Amino acid sequence: MCSFQSAVLRLGGNPITLDIQSSSSVKGESLQDTLRVMEQYGDLTVMRHSKRGVHQEMTSYLTKPLINAGDGDGEHPTQALLDLFTIKEEQERVAKLMDFKVQTICLFGDLKFGRTVHSLLRLLYIYFRNQPLKIYLISPEGLRMPQYVIDDCVQLGDNHTLIETESLTPEIMNELDVIYVTRLQKERFENEEQYLKLKSSFCLKKEHLNTSRNSHVPIIMHPLPRVDELDEAIDSDERAAYFRQMNNGMFMRMAILEMLLKQQ
């Protein structure tokens, strides 16, 4: 949410932040009432919530824009927009160094509960509808991309190739133009032993980059925050785009806010 606050300030606005734990909701106020009250104080509302689909439910109660800043294990649409922008920016950067066009992308880690990858996969299908992609979905057995997300994407077009697997092999690594890493969420596991076992298997380490086809690819992305799934030794590598990705997030959210405010 810091990127939204920064975006508002850079646009000359004054963000009003509300912690749900200190709001009237602790007294029993409904979410729709909280939002209807808050929209009296501003021009739009940005909300992150633990319930999937809650933003769609709430829009019927509001007269001003409501931005989804993440809804549980559902979606994170503004993150997907900044991720796509980052892919395009990084493609242009690498294209100055070699003949390059993004053709193979890997989503790696927790694909079941990681809302960022749900939105990103949908957006890849929309944006690259005329440019076939090979998309690897690499995750533990119990954390695969939800079937409803895949079904929605396939309805958008069938010109992409989806490959689901449980291992990031050297052969796959050698193919990749982009790898998007997400963390395994400890709170989603029934026991810590299972989490620790899988966590060590789903880490992108410096050694993985030795099997990539050259020193310019793959572009490495992560929505952050990270824990152990992304080796800090990679940070100094030119392929590490995740901090540039975060910087893009602030400007993307500035653009979204300005567009919505101009429409009012």
pLDDT per position as a tens digit, 194-245:
888 788 788 999 999 999 999 999 999 999 999 889 999 999 999 999 999 9
Are 2-72 and 77-246 in the same CATH fold? yes
**Is 41 in a helix, a strand, or coil?**
coil
CATH class assigned to 2-72: alpha beta
CA-based nearest residue to 181, from 215, 233, 236, 138: 138
pLDDT per position as a tens digit, 138-169:
999 889 999 999 999 999 988 899 999 999 99
Q: Which residues contact 89 (CB under 8 A, 6 or more apart)?
A: 244, 248
- Tell whether the model's pLDDT for residue 49 goes beyond 80: yes
CATH no., domain 77-246: 3.40.50.1370
Cα–Cα distance for residue pair 143/147, rounded to 1 Å = 11
pLDDT of residue 193: 82
How sure is the predictor about 191, in pLDDT bands with cuts at 50, 70 and 90? Answer: confident
Q: Which residues contact 20 (CB under 8 A, 6 or more apart)?
A: 34
pLDDT of residue 238: 97
pLDDT of residue 200: 77
pLDDT of residue 26: 64
CA-based nearest residue to 254, from 82, 16, 34: 82
pLDDT per position as a tens digit, 89-117:
999 999 999 999 999 999 999 999 999 99
Q: Domain residue spans in the chain?
A: 2-72, 77-246
- Tell whether the model's pLDDT for residue 27 goes beyond 70: no
pTM over 0.75: yes
pLDDT of residue 53: 95
Angle (CA) 224-229-233 rounded to 5° is 90
CA-based nearest residue to 56, from 69, 48, 66: 66
pLDDT of residue 173: 98
